[in-house]
Amino acid sequence: MEILANTIERQTSYSDLTDNMDNSRIIARAECVHLAFEGHCILDDVSFDLLNGKAVFLRGDNGSGKTTLLNTVSGFLRPDKGQIHLNLNGRSFDAVRTQPERLARAGLGRLWQDIRLFPTMTVLENVLAASTGLIGLNPALALAAWPVSRHQERRAREKALANLELVGMADRAKSSGDKLSVGQMKRVAIARMLQSEAELMLLDEPLAGLDRDSVDGLVSLLNRLNQEQGKTLLIVEHQHEQMAPICHETWYLEDGRLFKG
């Protein structure tokens, strides 16, 4: 195995990087990321380039830092050292200094290990919640420009239903978010990412807790999103046999250090 850190030209300036991102379609770049909790090193000098449109399978033992890496890339954790740059839908971001909600609006989707649907909302509302570009999100405009807001809402609803159709959940649109099976919840969570136009999807154990049929269905869905829609996937998973065939690369995290398989 080869340490990814060695493959990065560390002296690359940020402007060079963004040019490079446009040309070689790097969607995420981590440089020497280091993170420790209470003196215990979780991420140790982690560096990588993630190319746009690729599906990457991230493996590692429990506690090796996989979820922490996803949290760091998505802006929920700030590393002690190092840089993470994202190029989402043509815009560049310093993920270390950008709020996670802003990264999400720019095109970073997140599937949580515990899924995190909104339990008191219907499936359709869960997906609609990711429509963050609507003017009705501003209460003053929701009142003052009510007809425009309603029109936008109708279009967002159509898009949400189309996304639910894509993940095979359109027939459950009116069901409550907490009345679904684990597999169905994960499909809704993926539809939620699609609603927010996520270009880079970080998926934390998407196959956990699923039966064989559900695993096959979800793997097939992720493959379609990658192959047909060009979504970039960074997938943390333990089920190697199911996930490896649809991924372009496999990365390993061991004691906080990242290796390429």
Partner 1 sequence: MNYIFHLLIYFEIYVIVAMSLNLLIGYSGLLQVAHAAYYGIGAYTAALLMLKSGFSFLPALAGAAIAAGVMSLLVSLPTWRFRGDYFVMISLAVQVTIYAIMYNWTDLTNGPYGLAGIPKPALLNSIYATQESIFLFYGSIVVLLAGILAVLKQSPFGRSLQAMRDDELAARSVGLPVRLLKIESFLIASAMVGVAGGMYTAYVSYIDPTSFTLDESILMLSMVIVGGTGNVRGPIIGAAVLIAIPEILRFLALPDAIAANMRLLVYGLLLILMMHLRPQGLAGKYRFE
DSSP state of 239: -
For the bound state, the minimum distance from the C-beta of residue 202 to partner 1, rounded and expressed in Å, comes to 9
Structure tokens at 167: 């993940």
Of 135 and 208, the one with the shorter C-beta distance to partner 1 is 135
Of 25 and 159, the one with the shorter C-beta distance to partner 1 is 159
For the bound state, the minimum distance from the C-beta of residue 61 to partner 1, rounded and expressed in Å, comes to 25
For the bound state, the minimum distance from the C-beta of residue 118 to partner 1, rounded and expressed in Å, comes to 4
For the bound state, the minimum distance from the C-beta of residue 240 to partner 1, rounded and expressed in Å, comes to 26
Of 26 and 201, the one with the shorter C-beta distance to partner 1 is 201
Q: Tell me the C-alpha distance between 64 and 75, whole Å.
A: 19
Q: Tell me the C-alpha distance between 45 and 48, whole Å.
A: 10
Q: Tell me the C-alpha distance between 205 and 130, whole Å.
A: 21
Of 78 and 240, the one with the shorter C-beta distance to partner 1 is 78
Secondary element (H or E) of residue 19: helix 14-24
Of 7 and 99, the one with the shorter C-beta distance to partner 1 is 99
For the bound state, the minimum distance from the C-beta of residue 50 to partner 1, rounded and expressed in Å, comes to 19
Q: What residue type is 197 in one-letter code?
A: E
Q: Which residues contact 58 (CB under 8 A, 6 or more apart)?
A: 66, 69, 234, 235, 236, 237, 250, 251, 252, 253
Query: Which residues contribute to the site for partner 1 (CB under 8 A)?
Result: 74, 76, 99-102, 104-105, 110, 112, 116-121, 125, 128-132, 134, 136-139, 142-143, 146, 149, 153, 156, 192-193, 196
